[in-house]
Amino acid sequence: MPQNCADVNLFLDGNRLERVTSTKFLGVFLDEKLKWTQHLNHVAIKLARGLGIMGRVRRILPLDILRMLYFSLIYPYLVYCCIVWGSASATALHKLEVLQNRAVRMKTRSPFHATASPIFKQLNLLKLCDIRHMQILLFMYKCKHALLPESCMNYCILNLQCSYNMRHIHYFAAQPFRTSARENCISVQGPRVWDLLPVPLQASDCVESLKLNASRYLISLY
């Protein structure tokens, strides 16, 4: 009987699978403990490079071009698969938040220590935490309307006792958890984030409508 995971040999089509501490899959670094440290470091490096470019041109380019640079050099790395790696601890995610704050200050040529929240609101931009919330909302909306692949439909459970006469509709059943890692996964966070969305927005008639209105709602809270 193997004493630990290192003693387990796994085979696929007769080939022994090599054990590694991390691997890259579709642009995302997965580590053996799902702490996302390597991926967050990878994203931080990409953001720092983008900030370097923005910093060199911030004084000579108009603000609308700086906005384009933000959505070309910064935003794609924050949104890509953040519904997965965004489950990392707040401490681990903090360095990305700092880099994003620096980017929005550059966009408006604001002082280095300027408070970031008013700038996000002025520019109608989502913070990192709300970028993930938006991706979760879109996931839950597609789950509600059976628009996800069948393999993804099992992540959330519909609330069979849901009442549409209630002021707050708990459409998805809350999932039990015992660890912080479990608490941050989509099956737990999904119903929570969805329940925080005003009921009229939950009833959006299409994905694009939900995306637009939910974004405005999240930014209005800054």
Q: What confidence tens digit (pLDDT) does each residue in 126-149 have?
A: 999 999 999 999 999 999 898 988
Kindly state whether residue 112 falls inside one of the protein's structural domains.
yes
In terms of domains, do 120 and 103 share one? Answer: yes
In terms of domains, do 86 and 34 share one? Answer: yes
Kindly state whether residue 109 falls inside one of the protein's structural domains.
yes
Which long-range contacts does 115-122 make (Cβ < 8 Å, 24+ apart)?
Answer: 117/222, 118/222, 120/219, 120/222, 121/219, 121/220, 121/222
Please give the average per-residue pLDDT across 173-193, as a whole number.
84
In terms of domains, do 96 and 137 share one? Answer: no
Kindly state whether residue 203 falls inside one of the protein's structural domains.
yes
Kindly state whether residue 17 falls inside one of the protein's structural domains.
no
Among residues 107, 125, 143, the one where a domain terminates is 125
Kindly state whether residue 16 falls inside one of the protein's structural domains.
no
Please give the average per-residue pLDDT across 147-176, as a whole number.
72
pLDDT tens, position by position, 15-74: 888 888 888 999 999 988 888 999 999 999 999 999 999 999 999 999 999 999 999 999
Question: What share of the chain in percent tops pLDDT 70?
Answer: 92
The rounded distance, in Å, linking the Cα atoms of 92 and 41 is 9
In terms of domains, do 192 and 209 share one? Answer: yes
Q: Which residue has the tokens 């008013």?
A: 118
Longest distance between any two alpha carbons in the chain, whole Å:
67
Q: What is the CB neighbour count within 10 angstroms for residue 145?
A: 10
Domain that holds residue 140: 133-220
Kindly state whether residue 86 falls inside one of the protein's structural domains.
yes
In terms of domains, do 27 and 57 share one? Answer: yes
Our CA dihedral for 81, 85, 90, 95, rounded to 10 degrees, sits at -70
In terms of domains, do 211 and 171 share one? Answer: yes
Among residues 84, 101, 125, the one where a domain terminates is 125
Q: What is the CB neighbour count within 10 angstroms for residue 160?
A: 6
- Non-local CB neighbours of 201 within 8 Å, separated by 6+ positions: 210, 213, 214, 217
Q: What pTM, to 2 d.p., does this model score?
A: 0.85
Q: Is the pLDDT of residue 173 over 80?
A: no
In terms of domains, do 167 and 121 share one? Answer: no
Cα 84 vs. chain centroid, distance in angstroms?
7
Closest CA to 46 of 66, 29, 21, 23: 29
Please count the structural domains in the chain.
Answer: 2
Q: Name the DSSP class of 169.
A: -
Classify residue 186 by burial, with Cβ atoms within 10 Å: 0-12, 13-18, 19+: buried
Closest CA to 110 of 66, 45, 46: 66
In terms of domains, do 105 and 164 share one? Answer: no
